């Protein structure tokens, strides 16, 4: 079905939520996986992270602040996201500015994570070179022994929010004349749409 300007909602978050729900309903593998692209002193870098919802118009994800992505975002707060759901033939690209969530909000989410994920976050020096997997496993065992009840949230771990400047929706067409609609905010904060050639 063509993605047409006169049929698209005025609010890009409404269309995103619709497509995300369709991907989940269609059985897309890991529909919450998104590519996060950053650029820092070491150059450009991209990796998969997990989308954790929308909050006040921003896309939320969590990570180690001392990781490569954290260092990149400390250098340049601009970043891009890509969602791709092959089963529904949809792609969403997001470009904007990233900021850290307040620590109390990150702590609320951290408390909902499985204990194993909490221990891994505490034990892993993300993006750093380690001698072997055995070293990582021992660090997890040591953390579990040190915190038999409640696992503390690591000092350098927390949430990020990407606030979009624009959001592009791409829908596959068999003739490769794909549909691309980009929403962008004008100086008053209102969303407008424009069509991009495929």
Verify whether residue 176 is a known catalytic residue: yes
Q: Which of 29-33, 61-65, 97-101, 185-189 has the lowest mean pLDDT?
A: 185-189
pLDDT, one tens digit per residue, over 158-185 is 999 999 999 999 999 988 889 999 999 8
100 confidence band (pLDDT: 50, 70, 90)? very high
Name the catalytic one among 89, 93, 131, 176.
176
**pTM for this model (two decimals):** 0.92
For range 2-11, the mean pLDDT: 86
Average pLDDT in the 81-107 region? 97
Every domain of the chain and the residues it spans: 12-109+157-195, 112-152
Specify whether the CB–CB gap between 79 and 162 falls below 8 A: yes
The CATH number fitting domain 12-109+157-195, selected from 3.40.640.10, 3.30.500.10, 1.10.260.40, 2.30.110.10? 2.30.110.10
At residue 189 the predicted structure's pLDDT band, cuts being 50, 70 and 90, is confident
Pairing state between β 54-55 and 58-64: antiparallel
Q: Phi/psi at 173 (nearest 5 deg)?
A: -125, 140
What's the average model confidence in pLDDT over 82-88?
97
pLDDT in tens, 110-167: 999 999 999 999 999 888 899 999 999 999 999 999 999 999 999 999 999 999 999 9
């Amino acid at each position: 079905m063509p993605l047409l300007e006169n049929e698209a909602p005025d609010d890009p978050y409404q269309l995103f939520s619709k497509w995300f729900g369709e991907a989940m309903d269609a059985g897309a593998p890991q529909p919450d996986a998104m590519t996060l692209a950053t650029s820092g002193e070491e150059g450009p870098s991209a990796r998969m992270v997990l989308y954790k919802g929308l909050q006040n118009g921003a896309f939320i994800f969590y990570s180690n602040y001392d990781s490569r992505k954290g260092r990149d975002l400390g250098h340049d707060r601009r970043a891009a996201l890509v969602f791709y759901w092959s089963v529904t033939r949809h792609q969403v690209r997001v470009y904007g500015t990233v900021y850290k969530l307040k620590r109390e909000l990150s702590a609320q989410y951290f408390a909902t994570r499985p204990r194993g994920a909490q221990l891994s976050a505490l034990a892993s020096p993300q993006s750093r070179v380690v001698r072997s997997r055995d070293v990582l496993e021992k660090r997890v065992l040591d953390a579990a022994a040190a915190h038999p009840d409640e696992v503390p949230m690591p000092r350098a771990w927390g949430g990020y929010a990407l606030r979009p400047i624009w959001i592009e929706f791409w829908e596959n067409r068999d003739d490769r004349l794909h549909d691309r609609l980009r929403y962008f905010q004008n100086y008053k904060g209102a969303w407008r749409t424009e069509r991009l050639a495929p």
